[in-house]
Structure 1
Amino acid sequence: LPTGAFQHLDVSFDGQQILFAYCETQTIPVNREQHLERVFSLWSVAPDGRGLRRLTSGPFDDFSPRWLPGGGVVFVSTRRGGYHRCGQGPCRVYTLTLLDAPGAEPRTISWHETQEWDPAVLNDGRLAYTRWDYVDRDAVFYQQLWGARPDGSNVAILYGNHTRNPTGLWEARAVPGSTRIMGTAAAHHAMTAGSVVLFDARAGYDGLEPLERLTPDVPFPESESAVDNGAGGAWGPTSPPAGPLPAAAQRWPGSTYKSPYPLSERLFIASFSYDPLIGEPNRNPPNQYGLYLVDAAGRRELLYRDPNLSSLWAMPIAPRPTPPALPSQLQPTLAAADEGTYFMQDVHRAWPPLPANTPIRALRILQVLPKTTPHANQPYVGLANASPGKQVLGTVPVEADGSAYFRAPARLPLAFQALDAEGRAVQTMRSITYLQPGEQVGCVGCHEQRTEAAPARQ
């Protein structure tokens, strides 16, 4: 291939193929408007360099690919359309996209209204990925961990949608032989780099309790420690620790880890930099990160460091256990109509609780519209900064027992409002949901706790 940028490598489960994203380029752009015609596409190659094959093409950025157990590829792509809401553009939205098999036509499987990152295949066959979820709330936080089936159905929060420390959790990877997930607790206003953590869903899905800090020498950037922006200012901290920092953090302030790959719960490969992380709007050094073997006791062994380029996204070129290939649960008749269904058992089982003595009589169905202009607040569509546009699709009745059941169009980002008998909004969903064609989604209540089961009824 010609000179260019390579990123986000992934080795197939049998160890015979390497996936990567590539963009041909001879020079580094000097601003965000330069060289917009250059895009990343997906490629595969054998470890010995033979059999180079292009998997995607077109005027789209395709990157962050992962092999699926059935032979397909999940990745993120700008094919969904729309622009990022709260920054200066042009920055196109990229979301989960599926390549059913090499040579197939890519298809969007996430209609989330803003960016997603780092899909990974868990040991049970589900996907984990990072989703930026800031409908009608603060944009800095809430880049946290979500899950879905490989066909994009059954989307649900895994960790952190009401967590402000860490600011976000990226670069998820399943730990071999474990239910835990390794990832990077990173900043919002900087590239993905920070402290390596283990997430355990059995311990909860918000706050610090479900996280084990594997690298306590590095505080969570932007939330626990400031990120220098290289221009005399800093981002954060928003939740500084109450006690003194570890000695290593005081010796090497701003040091960070990146792209951890778990070998076990206690041992992993990761990129590491002693140099401080630089936040927006300035760049980090191109040779900032070396490759290390790291253990949970804090020991690091240098494996490789290039004098000119950072060493990133390392993983062994070897076979590994293949997770199960989950079958589709989409209903064909609904899929043919490009629709799906929602069922809610009791709207009054809500979090936060609904006002007392306020029966809910209907749900208003809103579509959150994709941003069609490249810069923030052009035009303003609400009082808050960078608000998303919305339109009303309709209302559906809530039964006397609090339940609701309705069909809805697939492939649209939707939000719901709970309405009282006068048609006034009592509670508004500050997130989005969407349906795959033929998907049937059920919930216990109006944003109920995920650990709750539906109560038995006769």
Structure 2
Amino acid sequence: MKYFGALSALFLLAACSGGGSDGSGGGDQSEDPVVVDYPLAFVRRSLSLEDDGGLTPDDVYSPAAFNPGAQLLLKDRATPSAPERVLTEGLFEDDDFVGGYDVKDLNTSADGTRLVFAMRAPEIEDADDDEQPTWNIWLYDLEENELRRVIQSDLIAEEGQDISPAFLPDGRIVFTSTRQRRSRALLLDDDKPQFSSLTEELQNEAFVLHVMEPDGTDIRQISYNQSHDLHPTVLNDGRILFNRWDNMGGVNNLSLYTLRPDGTDLSFHYGYHSQQTGTGQTDAAFVRPREMPDGRLLVTLRAPEGLTFGGDLVAIDSVEYTEAYSQPEGEGELQGQTSIAVEQVITDGSLSPHGLFASAWPFHDGTSRLLVSWSECRVLVEEDDDEEEETLLPRPCTEEWLDTGEPVPADPIYGLWIYDYQEGTQRPIVVAEEGEMISEGVTLEPRIEPEFLPEPVPGVDLDRELVQAGAGILDIRSVYDFDGVDILAGEDGAGIAELADPAITSAEFRPARYLRIVKGVGIPDDDVLDFDRSAFGRNGAHGMREILGYTPIQPDGSVRVVLPADTPLAISVVDADGRRIVGRHRSWLQLRAGEVRQCNGCHTADSEVAHGRADKQLEPAWNGAATSGIPFPNTEPALVAEMGETMAQLLARIAGEAELEGDITYADLWTDPAVRAKDPSSVIPYGELATPQPMSLTCQDNWEGNCRIVIHYPEHIQPLWERTREITDGAGAVLEDHTCTACHSARDADGMVRVPAAQLNLVDDPSPANADWMTSYVELLFDNPAQQLVGGALQNILVQDTDDNGNPLFETDEDGELILDSDGNPIPVMVTVDIEGVMGDSANGSRFFEMFEPGAGHGDYLEPAELRLISEWLDIGAQYYNNPFAAPVN
């Protein structure tokens, strides 16, 4: 069969799908005097095909994908008849290059005189992957007719993949890159080689935001996500809006975030809980955001991966809303965003009769026009030609052609159009031919320059000491504030004010006692370190984690603590035993040097309140000190508060900023001795561990900003089960042996086979279920079959399986007929009796610790420091290793 296009039919087909276009045939008679005087640039590319001839899927989570066969072109006027010239022609004619180059991510300066974009040179013949060209940022000056790579040095240009540039008001360029400049430098402080970390899905190096001067110098990293930060654009207020891939723990959201050009004030902006807003509420991504002249955000709403390359035109009212729907979980009225396509666009991968939009660029001329890359909807129809040979022809998605049977989508044919979403018209500017597409276009049209946001000055706007220390401050008003609600208040609840009053509440009755700070661990690719991926343990979505330390939560739930800057951080609220009492943090927090980040409180994983977005912040549930000049009620007289201060803020003002500690330490700083005796001090020190400690010897004596708690199961947890725990009499005779493996093993002291106590085997032998892990790891964390001793050997206990109604099940053949044994009896379906693992997703969610409560059977078997170690390890994800360089290599 043949597949070919009929280009002569394109204008007729476009009129069917174009929303009532008049004069859509193009030509000078359809020129729009408002827009024709502005040049436009666009990318024409060949459709990327697989070896079998099918389209290559377009994946927004693979931004480094290279699809050669693109050209960057310029039209001096936005009309179909205006001549085109290829700006990138002749750039790559070296004999070493093979095939075409690639171009994408067009953007313009506010005065319309400069064009910036990403381009990758062709493949180099016979070169290894790490020797191939990288994506670079290029700049075209319209007035000078000059095209140049922004970073002049070949060596510096090839340090990473650089894409998605945009101009800042001061002339610098913000872009996203895998070079991870600051993150790589900080790896040296962790005694690791420099590398660009992979995303949390471990498929590609993570793209994060950087800024540089227009001549390519002074490159600085400004975002610190563990997955991609994509498509930066500058809002009118000077902030940078971008797509952030929230992928911690497998969340998989492509939400909108903002930050300032210096990387401070990172804030969620829109859409974390609005990912299912595609057709039929299918998963969709907000791609390539841009601010429209009316203040709304223009995005392409599309499937994250697919063969269509496009989606719907959606305008987001992020000034008023932070989520799409009026009620949580996609319920209620769709209010935060609206499709501005003239007719419905289908985004679930099925045919979209109104076509699809691959990109959109707003005009800034007071109209409702957009420059869009648009493809009509087409299907392949079998027809017979004059030679009676069967042929597939593309036809429009009209009833005539859709009724011919099961429709087969034709390849898209994206052209460049002026689309007026209010007037309902669209006019062709550049027509694509079969096998190619116009993937994006921009106008070099003057627009209002965004506001310039100057960088804070150390010693004036920032604390100079914090800047020099490479640290910032996290300030939380109260961890008991959930979405502006005091979660302790109510008929049976004391409320924050009562909890903060030592005369009413002692420390033992305050649920939140410490804040644990956790750091994400960068994972190298196989070229840097080819380690066994079993190192992540039972759930690779948790990645690897390091604990940076703890700080006490004050009686009112407030926290103010110095944290390392330029680091992906997560926080956990823990109890007196160091066990997490709320869910894991689901997005990465970052601080820049000298920055003070303030928030009112906490939120649950499904909360749709815009945490961290200042203009949408709810009134705090805790207002702090009611007046100035006196202490908080019943607290130390010397701790005199100022109105509105939290307890943590008061301590910082009087005693200096709190820093992280390695041990879980409590001292009663608040109770007035004249009211009652102070609560007893306590500490759970790692110094009491008889097994290897998860920190350096230096940090045991003096906890500093570069100290880490790094827990590996084989090195730190398994030795707890094997540590000798004998109780002896005065003569040294063993009275009791509480060594874990003395009972929890498949052999007794004489080497005889037995059923382990409680069906729990804690030996370090490779597990029969997974030889990459020790038996103890699998037995603790997974469901395991119960065993019995039969003829001196351990065998799994088997019982007959039943259906949902409790009826016994028997083996059947492929026709559903019973299979009989040699005696003519049906053969029962036998299954194992599984015992649930004693360790869950968190320490407080694990029945393991019930056995070590006071008065329980194992009440005094493990020491507080040992229980703390196990609790921390579970809370951060129960990884097998938490440093890839400690894991076995392949």
TM-score interval for Structure 1 and Structure 2 normalised by the shorter chain: 0.7 to 0.9
Q: Determine the C-alpha separation between the residues in 2 that align with 1:48 and 1:35.
A: 37
The reply on whether 1:152 has 2:247 as its aligned counterpart is: no
Residues of 2 paired with 1:27 and 1:301: CA distance?
A: 40
Deviations 1:256-286 (A, max 9, x none): 2122111268321111122589xxxxxx999
Quote the residue 1:327 is aligned against.
454
| Aligned equivalent of 1:82 | 197
Cα shift readout 1:314-344 (whole Å, capped 9, x = no counterpart):
2211221101111223623312111111100
Aligned-pair CA distance for 1:250: 5.5
Kindly indicate whether the alpha-carbon contact (under 8 Å) linking 1:367 and 1:414 is maintained by their aligned counterparts in 2.
yes
Work out whether 1:22 is the aligned partner of 2:119: yes
| Map of 1:109 onto structure 2 | 222
CA contact (8 A) 1:346 1:401 kept: yes
Q: Which structure: greater helix fraction?
A: 2
1:166-315 paired onto structure 2 within 5 Å = 166=277, 167-176=284-293, 178-190=294-306, 193-207=310-324, 208-215=334-341, 217-219=343-345, 221=347, 225=348, 227=349, 251=353, 255-263=355-363, 266-275=368-377, 288-297=413-422, 298-307=424-433, 309-315=436-442
| Worse overlay, 331-340 or 255-264 | 255-264
Greater mean deviation of Cα atoms: 64-73 or 105-114: 105-114
Distance 1:155 1:216, change over 3 A: farther
Verify the 8 A CA contact 2:169 2:450 in the aligned structure 1: yes
What is the deviation of 1:351?
A: 4.8
Instruction: Look up the equivalent residue of 2:511 and give its one-letter code.
Output: P
* Deviation of the 1:414 alpha carbon: 0.3
Bigger Rg, structure 1 or 2: 2
Could you say which residue in structure 2 is the equivalent of 1:394? 549
Of residues 189, 204, 211, the one that matches 1:98 is 211
Structure having the larger proportion of residues in strand:
1
Q: Which amino acid in 1 is paired with 2:445?
A: A
2:870 counterpart residue number: none
Give 2:705's aligned residue. Answer: none
Deviation readout 1:159-216 (Å, 9 max, x if unpaired)? 111223233211111112x321111112122386311111112432112421011126
Gaps of at least 5 residues in structure 2 are 1-90, 93-99, 152-156, 181-195, 278-283, 325-333, 380-408, 494-509, 611-615, 627-890
Displaced runs of 4 or more, over 4 A: 26-29, 33-36, 284-287, 351-358, 374-377
What is the deviation of 1:158? 0.8
Residue 414 (1) aligns with residue 580 (2): no
Preserved CA contact (<8 Å) 1:198 1:211: yes
Pairing 1:55–2:170 present? no
Residues 338 and 285 of structure 1: CA distance in aligned 2, closer, same or farther (over 3 Å): farther
The one-letter code matched in structure 2 to 1:85 is: E
Question: Unaligned 5+ residue runs, structure 1?
Answer: 229-248, 278-283
Identity %: 25
RMSD across aligned positions (CA):
3.0
Task: Check the 8 A contact 1:259/1:313 in 2, yes or no.
Answer: yes
Asked if 2 retains the 8 angstrom alpha-carbon contact of 1:85 and 1:376, the reply is no
1:11 is aligned to 108
Query: Aligned to 2:536, which of 381, 384, 387?
Result: 381
Q: Partners of 1:102 and 1:295 in 2: how far apart?
A: 37
| 2:137 corresponds to 1:42 | yes
Inter-partner Cα distance in structure 2 for 1:183 and 1:158: 14
* Contact map agreement 2:572 2:580 (CA 8 A) in 1: yes
Give the 3-state SS of the residue equivalent to 1:391 in structure 2: strand
Which of 469, 475, 488 is matched with 1:343 structurally? 475
Counterpart AA for 2:466: L
Query: What is the alpha-carbon distance in structure 2 between the residues aligned to residue 64 and residue 269 of structure 1?
Result: 18
CA contact (8 A) 1:266 1:295 kept: yes
Higher relative contact order (CA 8 A, sep 6+): 1
Matched, 1:445 2:540: no
If the length of structure 1 is used for normalisation, what is the TM-score?
0.83
* AA matched with 2:439: L
* C-alpha distance 368-219 of structure 1, shift in aligned 2 (>3 A): farther
Contact 1:137 1:430 in 2 (8 A): no
Distance in 1 (CA, whole Å) between partners of 2:122 and 2:412 is 18
The whole-number CA distance in structure 1 between the counterparts of 2:144 and 2:162 is 21
Question: Offset of 1:418 from its aligned partner?
Answer: 0.9
TM-score between the two structures when normalised by the length of structure 2: 0.44
Q: Which residue of 2 aligns with 1:243?
A: none
Count of aligned pairs: 418
Read off the aligned partner of 1:15 and give its amino acid letter. G
Correspondences of 1:119-138 after superposition (within 5 Å): 119-138=232-251
Q: Contact between 1:195 and 1:216, CA under 8 Å: does it hold in 2? A: no
